[in-house]
Amino acid sequence: MAQYILKRLLLLPLLLFIFSVIAFALIQAPPGDFVTSYIAELAASGSAMEKAQIDALREQYGLDRPLYIQYFKWVGKILQGDLGVSLDWRKSNLELISERLLLTLMLGGFTLVITWSIAIPIGIYSATRQYSFFDYFFTVFNYIGIATPTFMTALILMWVAFKYFGASVTGLFSPEYVDAAWSWARFVDLLKHLWLPALILALDGTARLARIMRANLLDELKKPYMEMARAKGMSEWRLILKYPVRLAFNPLVSTLGWYLPLLFSGSLIVATVLNLPTIGPLLLRALIVQDMFLAGVIILIYCLLAIVGTLLSDILLAWLDPRIRMEEA
Amino acid sequence: MSTAKTSPALPQVEEAVPVVALPDLGREAEAIYVAPNWKLVWWRFKKHRLALISGVIIIFIATIALVPDFYSTLPPQESDAIRSFVPPQRPRFFGPNGEFMYVYEVTGQRNPTTLMMEWVADEAKIAPIKFFTPGYEYEIFGVIETDIHLVGLDNSAGVQKFHLLGTDRLGRDQWSRLMAGTQVSLSIGLVSVLLSIILGVLLGGISGYFGGWIDMIIQRIIELLQSLPPIPIWMALTAALPRNWSVEQVYFAITIILSLIGWTTLGREVRGRFLSLREEDFVVAARLVGASQARVIFRHMVPTFSSHIIAASTLAIPVMIINETFLSFLGLGMRPPAISWGVLLHEAQNLQSIALAPWLLIPGLAVIITVLTLNILGDGLRDAADPYS
C-alpha cells in the first residue's frame, strides 16, 4: 500500500512541471505583455507612467528576457511562496486567493457529500426495483439532469427564488458577514448560503453517479453468491447492503478521479452566475481584463486540484480494493 | 423478429454451416442472415422507441439549423429600441372572424411610478397568423432567393410585427434569434466532433494498430490531456483569441479549442477497438494475402467498428454544445454580433435581467431539449451498434 502511494507521489513533480509549463504558455498566449495592457489601462484612466518606471516593471518580471528565463523566474517565485501581484486589484495574489480557495474547497466538499448521499440511495433503489415506476422516474430525472447545464439550473432557481419567495440567493454570506473575520456565527451564515449552490452542482453529478451505481449493482445482483446467501436465509436488505453494494462502490470511487476535477472547475460557472466569492469568478475577471499573472496562478491551482482529486481516488480505490494494490505493487 | 428458435448466435452459424445447407428457415430469418450490417443495426435501433422519437426531433432541429430564416419571423439582427422587453405573444386559436391562429397586438405604456415600459395585449386588435407567407427576403444555402416563411402576419390587419418569444433589451425578436442561434450552436457541436473524430481515429488508430513505443507516447499524451481541468483551460484559450477577429475566425478557433481535448475519449475508444481487432482472423488473413496497411485499416478494420464511432460521436455532440454554450454565456466564446444559444443566454446572466424579462431564459430550453434528445439518440445507437451481441 505504502509502495503504491509512493509510486503515485513520485509522478507528481513531473505532472506539476508539465502543468506549470502549460499554465505559463496560456498566460503568454494573449498578444502583448501585461505591462503593455497595464500602460494602456493607465492611459485610459488619464494617468501616465514614466519610461523609467515602465522599464523597472519590465525588468522586475524579466519581460525583456527570453521566454524560458521568464518561465523559471515565474516558477521560482511561486515555489518561494511569492504568487505575484494582481495589477487589476492592486493586491497580492496570495491575499486575493487564500480565502476564496478555502471557500472553493468547502463548496466542492459539500457538493460531493450531497451528490453521494443522493446518488447512492437512488442507485440502490433503481437497481433492486428495476423497471418499477420510480426506476423509470429516476431514469428520466437523470437524463434531464445530464442535459441541463449547471448554469441553467442556477438561473432558473435564482429566478424562482426571486419570483415566488422574493429572495436573492446570490453570494455566500449575508451582507454583515462579507468582510467579517472568521467566527462561529460567520460559519453558520456560510452554511445557510452554501447549500443551494452545492445542491445545484450536485444535481449534475447525481444524475451521472446514480446511473453508474445502478449499472454496477445490477451486474452484482445477478451473481451466484446472492443466491447462496439467500439460500442460507440471510435477510434481503442486510444481504444487499453487505455484499453487492460494497462491490458496486469500487467503480464509483474510481469515478472520483474525473468527478472531483470536474466539480472544482464546474463550480466556476455556477459561482459566476450566483456571484460566489470563489476562485472561479476571479479567474473569469482576470482573463477578461488580462490580469495574466493572477490567471496563471489560478489555472495552476485548478491543475493542482485536478491532480489531487485523481490521486485521492487512486489511493481510496487501492485502500478499498485489495486486487488493485496487489496488481500495481 | 422471432429468431430465438431458429438461430443460435449468428456469426457461428455463418462460419460453421454453409448457408445453403440450412433447413427451411422462415422468410424473416433468412432476411436476417443475408442482411448487411447497417440493416441489422437499424432493426435493433427501431425497437428503441424513445431513441426513434429523439431521432425525429433531431432531424427537425437540423432543418432549423439548415434554413433558420425559413422559421424566423423577423431578421434576427434587426433591433427596434422602442419595442424592448416585449413579453412573448401567445398564439391563440380560432378567432372571432374565423382566423385559425392569431395574436393580440401589444401596446406599450410607461408605468408612471417605475418609468418602465409595460406591454399590454390589446384584445380589440387581432393580428391573424398565416403559414407559408412572404416576409423579409433571404437566401437558402446562399443560392435560392425567397421570402417565404413558415409563419407570418397577415398584413391586412395593419400590424407589422409579432414576437412569439418576446424581445430582448434592444427589441430584437427572440424567436428569430433563437432560430439563427440554432444554426451556430448545432454546427459548432458538429464541426468540433468531426475534428475530434479525425484526430481520434487517426491518433487512436495509429496507437492501437502499431502499438509499441508509439502507443506509449500517444497514451501518455491522452492521459495528460484528460487530467487537465478542461473548463479553465478552455476559458484561458478562448480569452486569448484576438478581439478583432471576425465571427468566422472565432467560430473555427472555438471548434479547434473544443476538439483539442475532446478527441481523447474517441481516441481511446478507437485504440481499444484496434487492439481487439488486430488479432482477429479476418485481419490476419487480409494481411497475409498481401493487402496494404491502408487497405487493412480502412477496408477491413474501420467498417467493423464504424457504428461504434457513430454512436460515440452522437454522444459527443451534446457535450460540445454545452461547452460552447457556457463559454459564450461567460462572454468568452462566440461574441456579438454572432448569435448562438450561449450568446442569447448571456443576456440573461444576472438577476436583474431575468427578473425583468424571464423569457430571456427560453434559449436554455432549446439547449436542454437538444442535449436530451441527442443523448437518448446516442444511447439507442450505442445499444444497437453491435447487432451480433
CA–CA separation, B124 and B116 (whole Å): 24
DSSP tag of B229: -
**Under 8 Å between Cβ of B108 and B119:** yes
Q: What is the pLDDT along chain B (389 residues), one digit of tens a residue?
A: 444 444 444 444 444 444 555 556 566 677 777 777 777 778 888 888 888 999 999 999 999 999 888 898 888 888 887 888 888 888 888 877 777 888 888 887 887 777 777 888 877 777 888 888 888 888 888 788 888 888 888 776 666 788 888 888 888 889 999 999 999 999 999 999 999 999 988 888 888 878 788 888 998 888 888 888 888 889 888 888 888 888 888 999 999 999 988 888 888 888 888 888 888 888 889 989 988 888 888 888 888 788 788 888 888 999 999 999 989 998 888 888 889 999 999 988 877 888 888 889 999 999 999 999 999 998 888 888 765 54
Distance of alpha carbon A28 from its chain centroid, rounded?
24
Q: What is the per-residue pLDDT for B13?
A: 44
Q: Report residue B243 as a C-alpha cell.
A: 478581439
Please name the member of B232, B331, B376 whose beta carbon is closest to the beta carbon of A302: B232
- In chain B, where does DSSP find H-type helix? 10-16, 27-34, 37-46, 49-66, 68-71, 174-210, 212-227, 230-239, 247-278, 281-289, 293-295, 302-329, 341-346, 351-356, 362-384
**Under 8 Å between Cβ of B246 and B254:** no
Summarize pLDDT for A118-167 with one digit per residue, the tens: 999 999 998 888 888 888 888 888 888 888 888 888 888 888 888 888 77
**Under 8 Å between Cβ of B54 and B374:** yes
Residues of B in contact with A306 (CB under 8 A): 227-229
CA–CA separation, B166 and B347 (whole Å): 13
Nearest to B320 by CA among B341, B336, B302, B335: B341
CA–CA separation, B140 and B146 (whole Å): 8
Q: What is the per-residue pLDDT for B57?
A: 94
Q: Taking CB atoms and an 8 Å limit, are A168 and B351 in contact across chains?
A: yes
Please check whether residue B224 touches A, CB under 8 A. yes
Q: Each residue of A243-263: b (16+ CB within 10 Å) or e?
A: bbbebbbeebbbbbbbbbbbb
Q: Taking CB atoms and an 8 Å limit, are A269 and B224 in contact across chains?
A: no
**Under 8 Å between Cβ of B338 and B245:** no
Nearest to B257 by CA among B313, B195, B315, B204: B195
Q: Taking CB atoms and an 8 Å limit, are A147 and B232 in contact across chains?
A: no
Nearest CA in chain A to B319: A147
> Is the preceding omega at residue B337 within 30 degrees of 0, hence cis?
yes
User: Sign of torsion, CA A120 A121 A123 A124?
Assistant: positive
Q: What is the per-residue pLDDT for B9?
A: 45
Q: How far is CA A142 from CA A133, A137, A327, in A?
A: 14, 9, 35
Q: ipTM of the predicted structure? A: 0.84
Q: Report residue A57 as a C-alpha cell.
A: 516593471
Nearest to A32 by CA among A292, A284, A282: A292
Q: Taking CB atoms and an 8 Å limit, are B235 and A305 in contact across chains?
A: no
Nearest to B183 by CA among B62, B72, B75: B62
In the sheet where B144-153 sits, what is the strand order?
B92-93, B101-110, B117-140, B144-153
Please check whether residue B354 touches A, CB under 8 A. yes
Q: H or E element: which one contains A90? A: none
Nearest CA in chain B to A296: B236
Which residue ranges form the domains of chain B, and what is each CATH number? Answer: 89-162 (no CATH), 176-385 (1.10.3720.10)
Q: Taking CB atoms and an 8 Å limit, are B330 and A147 in contact across chains?
A: no
pLDDT at residue A324 greater than cutoff 70: no
Summarize pLDDT for B14-34 with one digit per residue, the tens: 444 445 555 565 666 777 777
Q: What is the per-residue pLDDT for B318?
A: 92
Summarize pLDDT for B129-165 with one digit per residue, the tens: 888 888 888 888 878 888 888 888 877 666 678 888 8
Please check whether residue B196 touches A, CB under 8 A. no
